[in-house]
């Protein structure tokens, strides 16, 4: 199974990847990169991915680009090969470009698309989180992408909504990951 996400503002959404992909005991994912905790004013505020795993390295070497910047328009055959190579495990891919969800979903079977959205009223909070996490690139005023699973990015900073979301996704998250999540979202 391929889980493919639209992440125009990636850094605040990395906590979702940490919980859903790295520490989810109900879906057998190929694990993504290792991570380090990002601190702001001596307080943990998020995670940043570091040491890349083989499937991330393979992708970046193939396309000579950032893992999330690949244009999949004429390259979905690569995703098919990666799914075959790592079968029966699931893979996580994401893109900075929302249009890529449509491209991948229409070209492949067994794809679940995920979109991280937020509206204009949440922009100042999202921008502050991005800056705390060292992300200063173009931060859109709002993001609204259709997907199989649509997540309001700001909900990742609400513990009750996050616990409920993962319960609805039937995700079994280990306690260490929840401990880190709780520290980051205090």
pLDDT digits (tens, 9 = 90+) for 21-48: 888 888 899 987 878 888 888 888 888 7
Per the structure, how many domains does the chain have?
1
Distance of CA 85 to the CA centre of its chain: 22
CA-to-CA dists, residue 38 to 17, 41, 45, 132, 138, angstroms: 15, 10, 6, 8, 20
Which structural domain range is residue 21 located in?
Answer: 2-184
Residue tagged 């910047």 (tokens) = 69
pTM for the model = 0.89
pLDDT digits (tens, 9 = 90+) for 68-111: 888 999 999 999 999 999 999 999 999 988 999 999 999 999 99
Polymer length of the chain: 186
Q: Identify whether 88 is preceded by a cis peptide bond (ω within 30 of 0).
A: yes
Comparing 104 with 157, the larger pLDDT belongs to 104
């Amino acid at each position: 199974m391929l889980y493919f996400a639209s992440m125009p503002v990636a850094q605040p959404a990395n906590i979702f990847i940490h919980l859903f992909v790295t520490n989810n005991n109900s879906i057998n994912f190929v694990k993504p990169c290792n991570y380090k905790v990002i601190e702001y004013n001596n307080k943990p505020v998020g995670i940043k991915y570091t040491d890349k795993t083989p499937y991330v390295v393979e992708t970046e070497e193939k396309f000579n680009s950032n893992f999330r910047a690949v244009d999949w328009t004429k390259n979905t055959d690569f995703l098919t090969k990666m799914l075959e190579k790592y079968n029966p495990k699931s893979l996580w891919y994401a893109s900075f470009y929302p249009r890529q969800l449509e491209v991948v979903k229409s070209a492949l079977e067994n794809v679940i698309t995920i979109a991280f959205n937020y509206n204009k009223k949440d922009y100042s909070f999202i921008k502050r989180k991005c800056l705390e996490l060292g992300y200063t690139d173009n931060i859109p005023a709002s993001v609204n992408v259709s997907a199989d699973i649509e997540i309001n990015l700001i909900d990742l900073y609400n513990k009750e909504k996050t616990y409920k979301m993962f319960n609805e996704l039937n995700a079994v998250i280990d306690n260490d990951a929840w401990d880190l999540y709780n520290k980051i979202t205090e």
